[in-house]
Structure formats: C-alpha cells, structure tokens
Amino acid sequence: MPSLDFLPPLQRRRLSPLARGVFACAWPMAEGRPGMPLVYASRHGETTRNFGLLQSLAADEPLSPTAFGLSVHNSIAAQWSIIRRETAESVALSVEDDGLEHAIAEAAMLLAHGHEDVLVVLAEELPPAPYAPWTQDVPCTYAVALHLRPGADWTLALDPQQAAPAADARQAWPNPLNLLRHLLLRTHAWRHANHARQWTWTRTA
C-alpha cells in the first residue's frame, strides 16, 4: 500500500486503499502546479468499503457515519479537493469498461471550456472475493493518472457503428493500463470496443 508520506497521518488514515492509489499516482502530477480540474473515473469505486458496510448490516451492527460518507462514488474526488484545497471543478464518473474514453472526453470538454490543463485519474481496486464472478474486468488493483493539455498529438473517435461483439473486444490488460502500453510502444492507432461502443485512438504527431 502506498505510504503517502507527503500527507499528515490523520489524512492518510481516512483514505481507503483505492484512494491511496489515486493520491500516490496523481499527487506528483499536481505538485507545484496551479489548481486544475480533476476527472475521476471508476467502474466499481469503493466496493471494499461498501462490502464492509453490508457486513455490518448483516451482523446488526451500527454503521460508521464516516465509513458511509466515504463509500459514495465521488468521495475520492471530494477528498482530493479538500486535502489539496482545490477550488477547480471535479467530476466523478461511474463508468463501464470504456471509462478511459469517457474520462478523456470529459477532460476535452473542460479544455474546450478554457482550462489550460486537466488531471484525469482512473482507478479500480481488486474487489472482495464474493464479487469475483461479476468483476473479472479487475485482475489487479491499479490507478492511472494523466495530465492533459490542449494539443493535436492524438485524436479519439467514437465509431458511429455498433461495437464488435464483446468476445472480440477482450484484451489482456484493463483499458487504462492498455493505454500506457500503447504509449510506451508508440502504437500509431488502435481500437477499443465493448458491448455497445467502439473507439479509435490515432497518433497524429
């Protein structure tokens, strides 16, 4: 688990493992920069914290108001704003497996609105074992942070046709990690499809 030595102990203790991953990868990108909007996207969010609340309910135990408040989907974005004293916009997206593309589209709208840069963070935590049959899209815990600025190095297009069958769209890596793979390989173009949409990434520079 990330140590987050840059945060006071009291703030660190309130962060879940998922939130710690977000702070660990996003903090260095924001450190020393003026405040910028945050786009946070996750499919499963604070599943582990919610599972703990369900266990408490099943055992007829009182729920922790703090744990409940920090279990909602936008809690990590809120903690980021509070701890960093950010006053710029923050957006929390509940997404499918093409959440990366939706987060990039959200960031593009913020850039078009006049912001000079946007911080995009995508994170998932390996859910508790009982959820395994329904969360095969999370083979490991991960967080990815991207610092975006206006430019013409890449294009992202949504295919107007329906996506290819889901069986053809399977990939070895979660989509945000697959993006990093293509960036490192300097792939010219690739597609990502789920059951409903197909996206095309193209390098233009």
The answer to whether position 73 is within a domain reads yes
pLDDT above 70 as % of the chain = 95
Q: Which amino acid is at 121?
A: V
The answer to whether position 185 is within a domain reads no
The answer to whether position 197 is within a domain reads no
Q: d(Cα 137, Cα 127) in Å, to the nearest integer?
A: 10
Retrieve residue 97's tokens: 């497996």
The answer to whether position 191 is within a domain reads no
Q: Give the model confidence (pLDDT) of 55-101 as tens digits.
A: 999 999 998 888 888 889 999 999 999 999 999 999 999 999 899 99
* Contact in structure between 154 and 202 (CB atoms under 8 Å): yes
The answer to whether position 104 is within a domain reads yes
Q: In the predicted model, is pLDDT for residue 111 greater than 60?
A: yes
Considering only residues 136 and 190, tell me which one the structure prediction assigns the higher pLDDT. Answer: 190
The answer to whether position 168 is within a domain reads no
**Across residues 182-195, what is the average pLDDT?**
91
Q: Give the model confidence (pLDDT) of 142-187 as tens digits.
A: 999 999 999 888 999 998 776 555 444 457 789 999 999 999 999 9
Give the total number of structural domains in the chain.
1
Give the domain CATH number at 63: 3.40.47.10
Mind spelling out the 3-state secondary structure of 28-75? Answer: HHHCCCCCCCEEEEECCCCHHHHHHHHHHHHCCCCCCHHHHHCCCCCH
The answer to whether position 63 is within a domain reads yes
